Structure 1
Amino acid sequence: MDVRIQQSVVANLAARPMPVEAGPFLIGLDPSTESPGINYATPRPGAAITPADVTALVTAFRKADRQPRLEYVTSCSPSLESLLLTAGFVVEARHDYLVCTPDSVITPPAPAGFSLHEPATEEQRAALVRAQNDAFGGEPVAAEADVARLRRLQSNGGVAVMAVTGADICAGGGQAVPPNGAVSEVAGIAVREPYRQRGLAGAVTAAITNSLFTAGTEIAWLEASGEDAWRVYERVGYQPAGKRLYIAQD
């Protein structure tokens, strides 16, 4: 399972507008944003990595004017963390990832008063982006580049779902990246504060997951940001399967 998840991460980064090969690493670069959460690297699973490879990776990031940063499944490169720490990297977070399959998914109904559907217009995509930014504590705005990124995700086979109130307000939503090797990452599950504690997060997650499985995806995976999110995802059939590391150099 770990190898399939890590291979999917490599594929996701390869689909960035400007992917960069750096020895055993792949850097996914997007010129429309400097966000470290989008511009990061990952190792190819099982690749031999040396201190010189890490030095070359940092050089490639500096050349691109981006912060050196990696996300990866730890078991696929067990000796990498020590090399990165020696090179001045600092651990940001250690997360469990959870997986769901067509046999394990549980589908709760959408809460009363809300409808779930895929954004089909630029305004709907912008509404979803604004809702996600608001839910995650940012400004409730939607940059043109963010809307374009969501449109590209959908056109490439990814999934986006928005939760809309009867008054046509986007209360939240989420998305999943285009599947690769029948594996897809579900991410960005967000519900604005006034609409929480109603089951929306679970309903959105299940809707995205079912859409993936209907299209032939075999494994959906995600990460939980805390105990509350963990419980939401377990209720729709996700179970812990492995460990991932977030690590960056200032």
Structure 2
Amino acid sequence: MDARIQNSVVANLAARPAPVESGPFVIGVDPGTDNPGINYATPRPGADITSADVSALVEAFKNVNRKPRLEYVVNCAPGLEALLLAAGFAVEERHEYLTCLSGSLTPPPTPEGFVLSEPATDADREAMVTAQHAAFGAPPAAVDADVARMSRLQSRGGVAFMAVAPDGTCVAGGQAVPPHDAVSEVAGIATRPEYRRRGIAAALTAAVTSRLFAAGTEIAWLEASGPDSWRVYERIGYRPTGSRLYIALP
């Protein structure tokens, strides 16, 4: 399972608008943003990695004017963390990832009065990303690059869903990257603070996951940001499966 998840990350980064290959690493570069959560590297699973490879990776990041940063499944590159620490990197976070198979998904009911739908226009995408920004404490409104990124994700086979309140306000959003080898990451599940604890996140996650399975995806995976979201995901059928590391050069 770890290798399939890691390979899906490699494929996702390689599909960025301006990806960079650096030895055993792929850097996903998006010219529309310098956000380290979008522009990062990951190793190919099972690759032999040396300190020289790490030095070359840092240089490759400098060449594209991005912060050296990696996300990866730990078991797929067991000796990499030591090499990165020796090069001056610092661990940001360690997360367990959760997976869901079609037979274990248990969709909850959509909270009364709210409507879940896929953003079909740029106005929809702007409203959805703005709601996600509000939830994550990011810039208050979506910009053209955000809208273009979401449109590109959908056009390549990814999934996006938004939740709209009875007054027409978009209050939550979430997406999944285009599947690779029938594996897809569900990400960005976010609800505006004033609408939390109503079951919206669970319904939204289930809607995204259901759409993936309907299109032939076999494994959906995600990471929980804390105990509350962990419980939400477990209730709808996600289960802890492996560990991922977030590490960057300060």
Code of the residue aligned with 2:201 in structure 1: it is A
Note the C-alpha offset of 1:32: 0.7
Give the Cα separation in 2 of the matches to 1:93 and 1:226. 12
Q: Is 1:99 matched with 2:99?
A: yes
Note the C-alpha offset of 1:166: 1.5
Q: Is 1:210 matched with 2:210?
A: yes
Residue correspondence of structure 1 range 219-234 to structure 2 within 5 A: 219-234=219-234
Give the Cα separation in 1 of the matches to 2:59 and 2:129. 33
Q: CA deviation digits over 1:174-206, x for unaligned, max 9?
A: 000000100000000001111111100000000
Residue correspondence of structure 1 range 146-157 to structure 2 within 5 A: 146-157=146-157
Code of the residue aligned with 2:67 in structure 1: it is Q
Note the C-alpha offset of 1:137: 1.4
Residue correspondence of structure 1 range 174-185 to structure 2 within 5 A: 174-185=174-185
What is aligned with 1:243?
243
What is aligned with 2:70?
70
Note the C-alpha offset of 1:165: 1.0
What is aligned with 1:19?
19
Note the C-alpha offset of 1:18: 0.6
What is aligned with 1:46?
46
What is aligned with 1:190?
190
Give the Cα separation in 2 of the matches to 1:137 and 1:33. 17
Give the Cα separation in 2 of the matches to 1:142 and 1:220. 26
Note the C-alpha offset of 1:128: 0.1
Residue correspondence of structure 1 range 141-180 to structure 2 within 5 A: 141-180=141-180
Note the C-alpha offset of 1:225: 0.5
Note the C-alpha offset of 1:10: 0.1
Unaligned runs of 5+ in 1: none
Give the Cα separation in 2 of the matches to 1:138 and 1:54. 31
Note the C-alpha offset of 1:20: 0.6
What is aligned with 1:123?
123
Comparing 125-134 and 166-175, the one that deviates more:
166-175
Give the Cα separation in 2 of the matches to 1:104 and 1:4. 19
Aligned length: 250
What is aligned with 1:5?
5
Percent identical pairs in the alignment equals 67
Code of the residue aligned with 2:192 in structure 1: it is R
Q: Is 1:134 matched with 2:106?
A: no
Give the Cα separation in 1 of the matches to 2:246 and 2:139. 24
Q: CA deviation digits over 1:60-100, x for unaligned, max 9?
A: 00111111000000000000000000000000000000000
Which SS does the other structure have where 2:116 is aligned? strand
Give the Cα separation in 2 of the matches to 1:142 and 1:187. 17
TM-score, normalisation: structure 1: 0.99
Give the Cα separation in 2 of the matches to 1:196 and 1:79. 40
TM-score, normalisation: structure 2: 0.99
Note the C-alpha offset of 1:167: 1.2
CA RMSD of aligned residues (A): 0.5
